[in-house]
A and B are shown apart, each in its own frame.
Chain A
Amino acid sequence: MNNKTYKKPSQFRAFLSLAWYAFLAQTRNPASFAFGFIFPVVFISIFGIISGTTPKLIVGIATNSPSSEVIRVVQKQTASFITLDHEDEITLENKLRQGKIDGILQVTKGQGRGEHINLLTSTANPQNASELTSIMGNIVDKENLTLSGITTPPITLQERQLAGRQSRYIDFALPGQIGFSLLSTALFGTVFGFIFLKKAYVLKRMFATPTRALTILLSQGASRLIISLLQTFLILIIGVVVFKFYLPHGFMTFLQLCVLSIIGLIAFLGFGYFFAGIANDENSAGPLINLVTLPQFLLSGTFFPTSSLPGWVQPIANNLPLSYFNMAVRKITTEQGSFHETFPYLIGLLIWGFVMYILAAKTFKWE
């Protein structure tokens, strides 16, 4: 009896099975399903809707304003203005101070066809104020030329646009959204997943079988990889089909994005394993994960470009793992670069991952 030799159990079969069932269990968990699939869709839809509208300047004209040639021109330019002329002066001024409107046009009739335009702006929104001032300046200049009978002015300005892709917010935001999802899955998913497995003795029960600890650990990562690839598919499909997200080389770019997502997730999983190893309950894990993810969401060009950050923050911001991922994705989408141009970022990403895997291996606690 004792000399009966047992077949050495295949760790690979255990790995595949554990990865598949861990994935299946996650898709059936309402919380992880919402985090994994519904949130990205909501985010991407919001970004898509934002980027479809160009902001218009809101100009108030008091109800008792006299008829004016300039105001007629302003009212015709509905592409850049929304005009309000059904409110009294005091209401309009209050709105201007609160930043609800961008300017007020006050007209005083002069002699003959002459008129004096008073443009009121506020410091509430300086950017819109200066835009409005420049547009009004143009309109008044043009009107003056017409009234003076000058048809061929001595100085002319001709504008010529080079053909370029119109950069919309969705083109910026979608790559960031892929990174955001990957980092969330790698961290929140892995850490909370492991805490549950520890607490419910699922891991302990598995340790009583001939499956090795490393196999169990890797299978958990693999299940997140399936989830992340599905997230990337979902974000890209909605982005491309609904919001016309631009893939420079079509399907090739799509495949490259999948490869980037795999590399990104593997690197981010280093963080996931590290925190999964040191955290034993949800209460301590939540703040720890936020400490790592929140600054990255803000500093890594997820929602707005890192170039808008102050100079001293940029060296930090540009070297965060999520920044590397976002830069790599934008390199092959918005910047239309080729895949090998992403290598420097991928190396940065993998160095981060490597460091975290080492830390995780040194600190991992199973119970």
Chain B
Amino acid sequence: MSKNAKTSNSNAIIEVKNLIKKFGDFTAVNDISFMVQTGEIFGILGPNGAGKTTTLEIMETLQKQTSGEVFIDGINTLEHPWDVKRRIGVQLQSTSFYPELTLVELLQMFAAMYDIKVNPMEMLKRVQLEDKAKSYAKQLSGGQRQRFSIASTLINNPKVIFLDEPTTGLDPQARINLWEMIRDIKKSGTTLVLTTHYMDEAEILCDRLAIMDSGKIVKIGTPRKMIDDLIKTGFKREEKPKPATLEDVFLHLTGKQLREP
């Protein structure tokens, strides 16, 4: 089958080639190419307006590129978007559920959209929300909503899941909890692509990173390598980092367990 024709790198689950996206005169994504390896957590960093979300949405088949190609699991997203949609899970930046439906109902609804059968309680258990099964989506806290959102991306047993700023607005406890969940998903063999504004998050969580600015990828590699490359140029922090951060203080005082109603 031509649509399943393998691309050059046999370990890559995502391949982006010369991707360009223009909105009128504005070039949101300016000729970027990169690959995501099967089973890794790949982070896209960058200031607001760098083109992170646009890049993500093109990979998710939610937007069409101006030119260039994206292959997910070897499938061209423009030519076979429906085959791609079946293989991916998508978490958007904002709330994206009917506020007046319960979590179980929402999972049933999504299962029907993929035409598959799920066990909603099992899915909720996976994201520690089984006691919220009968709650409406609007009654969830920020952290619970993000966890539920991740549960909804796992419904179709996807090969890749995309998370757009999954920890924005969460308290440190909820953030740590979500990181654990993301690592669990990685352990099950799923590839994750996420965007974030938090450097500590990128450093701790991501196997590899792409840093975007003004629609371009300015650097790509492992967090360790990026830091080493910078140090090699003679870069030094003005102040020596202390062995603990304010976040360590905060977590030391308030504990790591989740705070939820």
Contact = CB atoms under 8 A, between A and B. Distances in A.
Nearest to A1: B73
Contacts of B98: 21-22, 25, 202
A208 B61 contact: yes
Contacts of A305: none
B112 A205 contact: no
B97 to A, nearest CB: 6
Contacts of A29: 100
B88 interface: yes
A24 B106 CA distance: 11
A18 B109 contact: yes
Interface stretch (B21-29, B79-87, B171-179, B211-219): B79-87
A10 B115 contact: yes
A137 B14 CA distance: 96
A9 interface: yes
Contact of A6 (B86, B96, B97, B112): B86
A14 B105 contact: no
Contact of A208 (B90, B99, B115): B90
B74 A17 contact: no
Contact of A211 (B6, B83, B99, B113): B113
B85 A24 contact: no
A202 B90 CA distance: 12
A25 B101 CA distance: 6
B86 A202 contact: no
A6 B108 contact: no
Nearest to B82: A210
B113 A14 contact: yes
A28 B115 contact: no
Nearest to B95: A200
A14 B82 CA distance: 15
A7 B114 CA distance: 10
B64 to A, nearest CB: 12
A127 interface: no
A185 to B, nearest CB: 17
Contacts of B115: 7, 9-10, 13-14, 210
Interface in A1-53: 1-3, 6-7, 9-10, 13-14, 16-18, 21-22, 24-26, 28-29
A13 B96 contact: no
B4 interface: yes
Contact of A204 (B62, B100, B110, B156): B62
Contacts of A211: 113
Contacts of A201: 92-96
Contact of B94 (A14, A25, A200): A200
Nearest to B97: A202
A3 B4 contact: yes
B249 interface: no
Interface string A198-231: 0011101111111100000000000000000000
A356 B94 CA distance: 32
B62 A208 contact: yes
Most buried by B among A2, A3, A204, A210: A210
B230 interface: no
Given A201-B95, A204-B62, A210-B82, A2 B113 contact: no
Nearest to A200: B95
Contacts of B112: 13-14, 16-18
A14 B109 CA distance: 8
A276 B88 CA distance: 29
Interface in B40-96: 60-62, 73-75, 82-83, 85-86, 88-90, 92-96
B113 A209 contact: yes
Interface in A115-141: none
Contacts of A2: 4, 6, 73-75
Nearest to A9: B115
Contacts of A18: 109, 112-113
B1 interface: yes
Contacts of A200: 94-97, 99
Interface string B1-16: 1001010000000000
Contacts of A10: 115
Contacts of A1: 73
Contact of A3 (B1, B82, B92, B113): B1
Given A9-B115, A200-B95, A208-B60, A25 B100 contact: yes
Nearest to A28: B100
A231 B100 CA distance: 21
A195 to B, nearest CB: 14
Contacts of B75: 2
Contacts of B85: 208-210
Contacts of B74: 2
Given A202-B96, A208-B90, A9 B114 contact: yes
Contacts of B92: 201, 204-205, 208
23 contacts: A3-B1, A6-B83, A9-B86, A9-B113, A18-B109, A21-B105, A24-B100, A24-B101, A25-B101, A26-B100, A28-B100, A28-B136, A200-B97, A201-B92, A201-B94, A201-B95, A202-B97, A202-B98, A204-B62, A205-B152, A208-B92, A210-B82, A211-B113
Given A2-B6, A2-B74, A21-B106, 16 more contacts: A2-B75, A3-B1, A16-B112, A17-B113, A28-B136, A200-B95, A201-B92, A201-B93, A204-B96, A208-B60, A208-B90, A208-B92, A209-B85, A209-B110, A209-B113, A210-B114
**Closest 10 A/B residue pairs (Cβ):** A17-B112, A205-B96, A9-B115, A208-B90, A28-B100, A201-B96, A209-B113, A211-B113, A2-B4, A25-B100
